[in-house]
Amino acid sequence: MTRPLYRLVYYSRNRIAGAPGDVAQTVQGILRASQRNNFEVGVTGALLFNAGIFAQVLEGRQDSISATFERIQRDPRHGDVHVLGFEQTSAPSFPNWSMAYLGRSREAENLFGSIAADSGFRPDSLESERIFRIMREIALEEESAAA
């Protein structure tokens, strides 16, 4: 029997200082480490970075996600980490990405406008589902644009 699949959605605030180019380079480094580590433990997902906010979806086995997220939470390159949801799910939504990077897009800007203005996301499952759906949409759009 296959082990149940879980999905964790969180958002956090950037703590990487410096010029935009330096920040982008650091984020690329985070992404490379994420892809390497996640691939090894069968975790997939997507990372969005916009308006000083990270949003991330992690999916995989519960123990793999917990271990990965514990490491992520301790990372001083971001802070104010808010979990929006951690639930069982029937199928992975980012099966082809050990960590997809969702760049700047109108959807992301709309999504993050409110938190950048400091009102925050609502920490409930509806919000988790909404963010997750938007991220999946952006990933699918980027995948078809790249094809």
Ligand X SMILES: Cc1cc2nc3c(=O)[nH]c(=O)nc-3n(C[C@H](O)[C@H](O)[C@H](O)COP(=O)(O)O)c2cc1C
Chain residues binding ligand X by CB under 6 A are 12, 30, 33-34, 37-38, 47, 54, 56, 58, 68, 71-72, 75, 77-78, 99
CB of 30 to ligand X, least distance (A): 5
Alpha-carbon torsion, ordered 130, 134, 136, 138, to 10 deg = 180
Identify which of residues 45 and 134 has a Cβ nearer to ligand X in the complex.
45
CA atoms of 24 and 106, how far apart (whole Å): 19
Identify which of residues 47 and 144 has a Cβ nearer to ligand X in the complex.
47
CB of 14 to ligand X, least distance (A): 8
Identify which of residues 23 and 127 has a Cβ nearer to ligand X in the complex.
23
CB of 47 to ligand X, least distance (A): 6
Identify which of residues 64 and 134 has a Cβ nearer to ligand X in the complex.
64
CB 53 within 8 A of CB 115: yes
CB of 67 to ligand X, least distance (A): 9
